[in-house]
Amino acid sequence: MAHTYMVFEFPNEEKAQQARHKLEGWKQAFRLDKKLQVKFDRGDEVAAETAEAAAEPEAADEPKKDAKTKPAAKGAKGAKSKRSDKSEDEATNSGPVKLLVRLYFSNHEKMSEQQWLDRIPGDELFKVAHPSVIHQKDAAFDETLKQFDSLE
């Protein structure tokens, strides 16, 4: 079976999530479970910001446990909503995000594969992401394969 990768570079996390949602809808509607896989490459700096954001709620939960009065607990809830607003702003202001899509069709499904190679980059949501298609014969295929396998 041949793999084909499509790499999309979205300007921010929000657009990439919208594209992922659209792909997941297609995946479910057309029963493409193993044939269409999606992974994000947010880069090193975004991963570091995500790690900092994950550590931040833990520190905020400790005072909430120690506080026994109700007004303090209400203040902690207000702080929690401010953090979620901050994370939403970070998602829209984040740097470029790469969306890697792997198509994995068998040799007798060449027409289906070609239809998806035409459909996905042709959609309005994906046109702004500068799509690039990498076939198994291309020079960048091995590098893309390693990158895809290293992502979660």
Give the burial class of 36: count Cβ atoms within 10 A of its Cβ; 0-12 exposed, 13-18 middle, 19 or more buried: buried
- Tokens representing 16? 């990439």
Answering whether pTM is above 0.85, one says: no
Half-sphere exposure of 66 (CA within 13 A, CB side): 5
Residues in the chain: 152
107 and 133 housed in the same domain: yes
Whichever domain contains 99, its CATH number is 3.30.70.100
* Token representation of residue 124: 């309005």
- pLDDT (tens digit, 0 to 9) for every residue of the chain, 152 residues total? 679 999 999 999 999 999 999 999 999 999 999 999 999 998 865 444 544 444 454 444 444 544 455 555 444 454 444 544 555 555 556 789 999 999 999 999 999 999 999 999 999 999 999 999 999 999 999 999 999 999 97
Looking at the structure, tell me whether residues 36 and 108 fall in a common domain.
yes
Going from the C-alpha of 87 to that of each of 81, 104, 108, the distances in angstroms are: 10, 34, 45
106 shares its domain with 140: yes
Query: Are 88 and 99 part of one and the same domain?
Result: no
**Do 99 and 38 lie in a common domain?**
yes
- Tell me: do 16 and 34 sit in the same domain: yes
85 with 110, same domain? no
Pair 109, 4: CB distance under 8 Å? no
Task: Give the integer Cα–Cα distance in Å for 40 and 23.
Answer: 13
Domain of residue 102 covers 2-42+94-150
- Provide the number of structural domains found in the chain: 2
Examine the domain organization and report whether 61 and 133 are in the same domain: no
Predicted pLDDT at 41: 93
Q: What is the pLDDT of residue 48?
A: 47
